Chain A
Amino acid sequence: AQKVTQAQTEISVVEKEDVTLDCVYETRDTTYYLFWYKQPPSGELVFLIRRNSFDEQNEISGRYSWNFQKSTSSFNFTITASQVVDSAVYFCALSEKSPNAGKSTFGDGTTLTVKP
């Protein structure tokens, strides 16, 4: 069975601070996909980043970066120089390979508040 744990329920930072959101996952599959989504108050889930289990290279995309470590089953997400518009609920999610790929397991979410 899959499981995703986001231990941080709420985080509050001041604008321009860096913030890291933690995610730990469990799966028995060797091929899987990890995601971070952002959910603003409007409710729609906005895709941010995806990582495949066979690619542990960590990258930076604009103000976003991520740290994927299979050894610790962690997929942490960092926002650099946070902005007020980054305030939202952030979800980490896990999807296994086809035919179960369309069945994602989500963490409970981390509510990020960025204060001006």
Chain B
Amino acid sequence: KAGVTQTPRYLIKTRGQQVTLSCSPISGHRSVSWYQQTPGQGLQFLFEYFSETQRNKGNFPGRFSGRQFSNSRSEMNVSTLELGDSALYLCASSPDNKPYEQYFGPGTRLTVT
């Protein structure tokens, strides 16, 4: 099976712009979770989607949003980018019978200038 894929891998945006990141889970996995990794805050949970519904949400401002499509692919959007949004964004997918077993993608490295 192909692993979790994330596009794009690298992105440079300007403060105030918005960005959309994409994650394709492992085939058959309906759960997709998103994490932000920064040097200062470490790895923090953003949100989880399951079967097109947000199942869990982390403690991030409303500028961070996500969605999931019927094929389980997920996107996350960050509006009005701030310098502090520069981070590695990781997504993970999980099988239904083992929701705790997360398989991570390579990440999207976002730089906000």
Binding site for B on A (CB under 8 A): 33, 37, 42-47, 50, 91, 95, 97-109
Contact = CB atoms under 8 A, between A and B. Distances in A.
Contacts, number: 65
Nearest to A37: B104
- A42, A44, A106: which has the most chain B beta carbons within 10 Å? A44
A105 B88 contact: no
Contacts of B104: 37, 44-47
Nearest to B9: A43
Contact of B105 (A33, A44, A50, A98): A44
A43 to B, nearest CB: 5
Given A43-B107, A44-B104, A44-B105, A103 B43 contact: no
Contacts of B58: 103
B88 to A, nearest CB: 6
Contacts of B102: 47, 95, 102, 104
